[in-house]
Amino acid sequence: MTDDSALVVADHVSRTYGRGPSAVVAVHGTSCRILAGEQIALVGPSGSGKSTLVHLLAGLDTPTNGVIRWPGLGGLPARLPAGSLGLVFQGPSLLPDLDIAENVAFPLVLSGHPGPSARAAAVMMLRELDLADLADKVPGEISGGQAQRVAVARALVARPRLILADEPTGQLDHASAAIVVALLTDRAHELNAGLLVTTHDPWVAAQLEIQWHMIDGRPRFSQAMVP
């Protein structure tokens, strides 16, 4: 397997916040890649740089050093149709002025789907996550855990080829976490998508085929993932 078929390739990538003595090196000379169908858990303590790496791989942030490419996706994520890359943020990320169904449908609408069909797809997605009765509520009316599951639904709705989920189970109880992880892995499998889930929960990490351990800005690869 070559780099050219990898969904995303990071080549000696660093991300430093600030300058001088107070500079924080969040990601430290990392090289990695994610292939289609791979399911990876990125595990590490808080502050180890997991979120920063996710943002770099999603193309939302630019590395201070090194290069990131998305050969298998066919271009920069920003140039792809919305939703080709499914993203779940660590914090609250629902749009407060849209209802839950509209939030989930949002990537579809952005990529040009007509409103009614996008909403129908969103409601179906919500049903799979057992969230159908939230469809007409607004984010201000649901709990943090529910909001996180809605964010997962939104990441999956547009049949992404690469899914990057930052602590999707962070605020969930074990049962809900299990549902969310199962949904992510099943859907990734079904779509033959690459999946990266960051977590500090060993049980969640164990649900995925591959574990990367993030220590001081460098992932240690527990399986044969050396580039």
Partner 1 sequence: MSAGAWLAGLVRRRPGRLAASAAGVAVAVALLASIATFLSGALATMTTAATRQIAVDLQIEAHQGVDPGTVLAAAAAAPRVQAALPVEFGTTTGLRAATGSTIQATGPGVVVGVPPGYGAAFPGELRVLVGDAAGVLLAQQTAANLHAGPGDTVSIGRAGLDAVMVRVDGVVDLPQADSLFQAVGAPAGAQALAPPDNVIVLPAPRWHAVFDTLAASRPDLVRFQVHARLDHHLPRDPSAAFNQVSGASRNLEASVAGGAAVGNNLAAALDGARGDSLYAQILFILLGLPGVALAGLLTATVTAAASDRRRREMALLRVRGATVRTMVAIAAAEAAAVALVGAAVGLGAAAVVGRTSFGSATFGASRSSGIAWALASALAGVVIAAWAIVVPAWRDARRVTVAAARQPLGRQDRPRWMRGLLDLWVLGASGVIFWLTSRAGYRIVLVPEGLPTLSVNYWALSGPLLFWAGCGLLAWRIADALFGPGRRLVAAAAQPVAGNLSATIAASLSRQRRRLSRPVALVALTVAFAASTAVFNSTYHHQAGVDAVLSNGADVTVSYPGNSGPPADLPTALAAIAGVRHVEPMAHRFAYVGADLQDLFGVRAPTIVAGATLQDTYFRGGSARQLMGQLARQPDGILVSAETVKDFQLSVGDQLRLRLRDAASGQLTEVTFHYLGVAKEFPTAPRDSFLVANADYVAARTAAIGRPTNNTFLLTTGPASPVAVADRVRARVGTASGAVVTDLVTSRRQVGSSLTAVDLSGLTRVELGFALLLAAAATGLVLGLGLHERRRGFAIARALGARPRQVAAFVRVEAATITLVGLVLGALGGWGLTEMLVKILTGVFDPAPSGLTVPWGYLAVMGVLAVVAAAAAAAVTVRATRRPIVETIRDL
Ligand X SMILES: Nc1ncnc2c1ncn2[C@@H]1O[C@H](COP(=O)(O)OP(=O)(O)O)[C@@H](O)[C@H]1O
In the complex, the residues that contact partner 1 under the rule CB under 8 A are 55, 58, 60-62, 77-78, 80-85, 87, 89, 91, 93, 95-99, 102, 105-107, 109-115, 138-141, 154
Nearer to partner 1, 92 or 202 (CB): 92
169 near Mg ion, rule: CB under 5 A: no
170 near ligand X, rule: CB under 6 A: no
Nearer to partner 1, 77 or 168 (CB): 77
Nearer to partner 1, 83 or 217 (CB): 83
In the list 30, 39, 48, 146, the residue contacting ligand X (rule: CB under 6 A) is: 48
Query: What are the structure tokens assigned to 37, written together?
Result: 């169908």
- What backbone phi and psi angles, to 5 degrees, belong to 183? -60, -45
Residue 31, H or E segment: strand 24-34
Nearer to ligand X, 2 or 22 (CB): 22
What is the DSSP annotation of 94-109?
S-TTS-HHHHHHHHHH
Q: What is the C-alpha separation between 180 and 57, in angstroms, rounded?
A: 22
135 near ligand X, rule: CB under 6 A: no
Nearer to Mg ion, 80 or 94 (CB): 94
Tokens 């797809």 found at: 121
62 near ligand X, rule: CB under 6 A: no
CB 169 within 8 A of CB 180: yes
Sheet order of strands, 8-17 included = 24-34, 8-17, 65-69
Q: What is the C-alpha separation between 164 and 93, in angstroms, rounded?
A: 14
- Residue 206 Cβ vs partner 1, minimum distance, rounded to whole Å: 29
In the list 30, 39, 48, 90, the residue contacting Mg ion (rule: CB under 5 A) is: 90
> Which residue(s) pair with 24 in the sheet?
17
Give residues in contact with ligand X (CB under 6 A): 17-18, 24, 26, 44, 46-52
